[in-house]
Structure 1
């Protein structure tokens, strides 16, 4: 069984914190490549939030705070690879289709590795920091049976 992750929203906060929020249920990647040439001067406002903990949705190329592990079919993976390769050519200047496809396969493969040992519906969280060596990513998983609403939401006192 192949697995990847889909964006998930528990509330409307992503619409407020990201310049381009991903829609719910998009296939997603870490998307750390977007920040590979960034400097600390670029880490302000909504861009900082996207850098700090945003997953990259593969339809909108927007960001989401949470993703959930899900099964994926080979046909879907193939389509995502093609779409991501086209994105690399259009927005990142990949030197050709083969180079773009190789980069897309690598990014999707990395996400598959993150998901392969996780149960479906496991929540994944990414945290990034900019170091002298570049972008460092850390990942955390919250298994479905360990999830507690207080880990992802804040509730006020009811009336």
Structure 2
């Protein structure tokens, strides 16, 4: 078992690519990313920037946003690489005075991210970020899978209903659509 746990970006569907200007790639190490909003006025944010502020974790490699993260095991080498990658962003994109200062800030961000992972591996976490009196606040929640049969209304993705009507049935090949969405078959 790995000595570390860190959050990784999770994409269950393509919605992050529509919700955020720049979506994180699935599987990136992630941090909360609040530092990305320190120089902005959260009340003035609109559209995709506002969505990123409210609920976006930042992928360490891309600094793109992800609505969800999953608690994952990380080796010491993976943790160190995440710190170095984030430190380079902080130095080059955010003007840290030197690499040592950038590395210190990256270590703090990674430590905060690791503190969210006091959950079993595979736990899914969502965030809601707010700004109050000039301070950014983050609230986290763990998403749990419902026990089978606990909610019969939402237990299935599809609900089939038999009818006696002689209507033309649509024929949709969902597997083919997943392979080639442009084909329509």
TM range, smaller chain: 0.7 to 0.9
Question: 1:81 and 1:42, CA in 2 relative to 1: closer, same or farther beyond 3 A?
Answer: same
Partner of 2:13: helix, strand, or coil?
Answer: coil
CA distance in 2, matches of 1:37, 1:113: 25
In the alignment, structure 1 segments of 5+ residues that lack a partner are: none
Aligned partner of residue 79 in structure 1, secondary structure: helix
Q: State the Cα distance separating 1:158 from its structure 2 match.
A: 6.2
Q: Please, what TM-score do these two structures have when normalized by structure 2?
A: 0.76
- Once the two structures are TM-superposed, the CA of residue 156 in structure 1 deviates from its matched residue by 7.4
Q: Deviations over 1:84-128 (max 9, x none)?
A: 11100111100111110100001001111111x200010111101
Provide the C-alpha distance between the structure 2 equivalents of 1:19 and 1:80, rounded to a whole number of angstroms.
23
Of the three residues 46, 49, 57, the one matched with 2:48 is 46
Unmatched 5+ stretches in structure 2 = 152-156, 162-185
Q: 1:36, 1:148 → 2: CA distance?
A: 37
**Deviation by residue 1:64-94 (Cα, 9 ceiling, x = unmatched):** 1000000000001111111111100111100
| Whole-angstrom distance in 2 between the partners of 1:51 and 1:64 | 11
Give the superposition deviation at 1:41: 4.8
**1:3 maps onto 2:16 in alignment:** no
Q: Which residue number in structure 1 is paired with residue 39 of structure 2?
A: 37
2:130 is the alignment partner of 1:129: yes
- Say if 1:35 and 1:51, in contact at 8 Å, map to a contact too: yes
Give the Cα separation in 2 of the matches to 1:54 and 1:157. Answer: 33
CA positional deviation for 1:42: 3.6
- Of structures 1 and 2, the larger Rg is shown by 2
Give TM-score scaled by structure 1 length.
0.88
Select between 32-41 and 80-89 the one with higher mean Cα deviation.
32-41
Residues 157/39 of structure 1: CA separation in 2 closer, same or farther (3 Å cut): farther
Distance 2:46 2:158 in 1: 29
Task: Name the residue aligned to 2:106.
Answer: 104
Distance (whole Å) between structure 2 residues aligned to residue 43 and residue 85 of structure 1 = 26
Structure 1 SS opposite 2:140: strand
Any residues of structure 2 matched to 1:13-32 within 5 Å, and which? 13-32=15-34
